[in-house]
């Protein structure tokens, strides 16, 4: 069974165009190595899916969180549609196992890379939108993101470690964190960056990652944890613990998955088991379940054989 058919079966959605869904799973590295087997990669579908995901999440938040103002709604949406947030949704689908990657990308752990997973998720949503319509695609997104849509995590905890650290240090001392690249080792395709973050000339965190951005965010997360521990020992004499907590979040839990730490899976990334089409009715103000049932019943296209651009022997 080719990846698209296996994914459609796992989702439980009446996918009609398996070729389109298959394209959503093709990374550019695979196309580069198998031009005779694939018609195209997933970047155009990613472009389309990005808008569908953003609108679906915006609509769901607007309808469900009537007490949140524009700023809070924007922060909640950003935390869900960020690279880390979308990669978390992709993990729930175990989407990485269905992707078609080039050999090099696969060996570098591409199936677990947050950026790649987030892009593939948007591409899948784009394919579902073109095949089944907006109601089905948005209903799928909101059902999958239900834990985030109903979460009451404080506003501070929704922001990335870099944003939290900067807001706190600027408010406390008026200074912004400064990031410095300490080292970059390894071959170009697998380089590891090491970054320090300092405030007022004092290094307060060090982080590593396969991109400078990830290393900086890791350093900020370490700095936040260090500030938290220091506040516990010194109280408010040197560090305003209450103010610190307002930026770290009431739970005081800096989850590495919020910033896309590679190879880290949080408790919210539960394995995907079964997708209940009835759940699509969760789409506020819509009738996604009815729309999907209509798609399944409105013609023979769903049962028609579809040419496979990827040979089964290559899977």
- What are the catalytic residues? 50, 122
Q: Which residue has the tokens 């022997």?
A: 313
Q: Confirm if 227 and 74 have CB atoms less than 8 A apart.
A: no
Q: Are strands 192-199 and 178-185 parallel, antiparallel or unpaired?
A: antiparallel
**What SS3 class is residue 196?**
strand
Angle, to 10 degrees, between the axis of helix 134-144 and the axis of helix 114-132? 140
- Cα–chain-centroid distance for residue 57? 13
Q: Of all helices (H) and strands (E), which one includes residue 19? A: helix 18-24
The span from the CA of 222 to the CA of 206, in Å, is 7
Distance set, CA 36 to CA 3, 32, 109, 185, 200 (Å): 18, 10, 25, 36, 56
Q: Which residue has the tokens 């569908």?
A: 52
The DSSP-derived string for 219-288 is: HHHHHHHHHHHHHHHHTTTTS-HHHHHHHH-TT----GGGGT-TT---TT-PPP----GGGGGGSTT--H
Q: Facing residues of 197 across strands?
A: 179, 205
The DSSP-derived string for 200-217 is: TTEEEEEEEESSHHHHHH
Max Cα-Cα span within the chain:
72
Q: Are strands 202-209 and 192-199 parallel, antiparallel or unpaired?
A: antiparallel
Q: Is the dihedral of CA 133, 138, 140, 141 positive or negative?
A: positive
């Amino acid at each position: 069974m080719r990846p698209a058919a296996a994914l459609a079966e796992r989702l439980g959605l009446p996918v009609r165009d398996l070729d389109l869904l298959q394209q959503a799973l093709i990374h550019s590295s695979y196309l580069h190595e198998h031009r005779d087997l694939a018609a195209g990669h997933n970047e155009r579908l990613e472009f389309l899916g990005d808008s569908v995901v953003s609108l679906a999440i915006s609509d769901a938040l607007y309808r469900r969180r009537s007490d949140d103002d524009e700023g809070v709604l924007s922060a909640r949406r950003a935390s869900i549609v960020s690279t880390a947030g979308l990669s978390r949704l992709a993990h729930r689908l175990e989407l990485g196992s269905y992707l078609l990657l080039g050999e090099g990308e696969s060996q570098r752990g591409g199936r677990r890379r947050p950026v790649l997973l987030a892009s593939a998720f948007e591409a899948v949503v784009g394919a579902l939108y073109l095949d089944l319509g907006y109601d089905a695609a948005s209903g799928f997104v909101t059902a999958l993101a239900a834990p985030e849509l109903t979460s009451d995590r404080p506003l501070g905890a929704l922001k990335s470690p870099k944003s939290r650290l900067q807001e706190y240090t600027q408010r406390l001392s008026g200074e912004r964190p400064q990031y410095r690249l300490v080292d970059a080792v390894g071959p170009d395709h697998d380089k590891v960056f090491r970054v320090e973050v300092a405030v007022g000339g004092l290094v307060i965190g060090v982080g590593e990652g396969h991109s400078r951005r990830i290393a900086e965010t890791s350093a900020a997360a370490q700095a936040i944890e260090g500030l938290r521990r220091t506040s516990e020992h010194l109280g408010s004499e040197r560090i305003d613990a209450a103010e610190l907590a307002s930026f770290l979040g009431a739970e005081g839990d800096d989850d590495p998955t919020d910033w896309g730490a590679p190879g880290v899976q949080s408790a919210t990334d539960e394995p995907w088991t079964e997708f209940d089409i009835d759940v699509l009715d969760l789409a506020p103000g819509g009738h996604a379940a009815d729309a999907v049932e209509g798609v399944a019943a409105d013609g023979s296209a769903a049962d028609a054989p579809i040419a496979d651009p990827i040979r089964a022997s290559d899977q």
